[in-house]
Structure 1
Amino acid sequence: MRLIFDADHEQFRDAARRFFLNELAPHVERWREQGFVDRWAFEKAGSLGYLLTWADEKYGGAGMSDLRYEQILVEECVRQADIGIYFNLHSTVVAPYIAEIGDEAQRERFLPKAISGEHILAIAMTEPAAGSDLAGMRTKAVRAHDGEGDDWILNGSKIYISNGMQADVVVVAARTSSESKPESRHTIGLFIVEAGMAGFSRGKKLKKMGLPAQDTAELFFENVRVPAANVLGDPTRGFQHMARLLAKERLSLAMTSMAHAQTAFDLTLDFVKERQAFGRPIGAFQNSRFVLAQLRSELDAVQCFVDQCVLLANDRKLDADTGAKAKLLATDLEGRVIDACLQLHGGAGYMDEYRISRMYTDARVSRIFAGTNEIMKEIIGRGLGLDERAAR
Structure 2
Amino acid sequence: MDKLIKLERQYCARNYHPLPVVLHKGQGVWLWDVDGKRYLDMMSAYSAVSFGHSHPALVAALTEQAQLLAVPSRAFYSDRLGPFLELLCETTGMAKALPMNTGAEAVETALKAARKWGYKVKGIPDGRAEIVVCKGNFAGRTTTIVGFSSEPQYRDGFGPYAPGFVSVPFGDAAALEAAITPHTAAFLVEPIQGEGGIIVPPAGYLAACREICSRHDVLLICDEVQTGLGRTGHLLACQHDGIKPDGLVLGKALGGGLLPVSAFLARHDVMNVFNPGDHGSTFGGNPLAAAVGTAALRLLQEERLAERARAMGSRLLEGLRALRHPAIRAVRGRGLLIGLELDPALLPARLFCERLMVAGILSKETHDTVVRFAPPLVIGPEEIDLALATIGSTLEAAAPMQAPRAADHMIV
Q: Assess same fold via TM > 0.5.
A: no
TM-score range with shorter-chain normalisation?
under 0.3
> Taking structure 2 as the reference length, what is the TM-score of the superposition?
0.26
Higher helix proportion (structure 1 or 2): 1
Return the TM-score normalized by structure 1.
0.27
Greater relative CO, 1 or 2 (CA 8 Å, sep 6+): 2
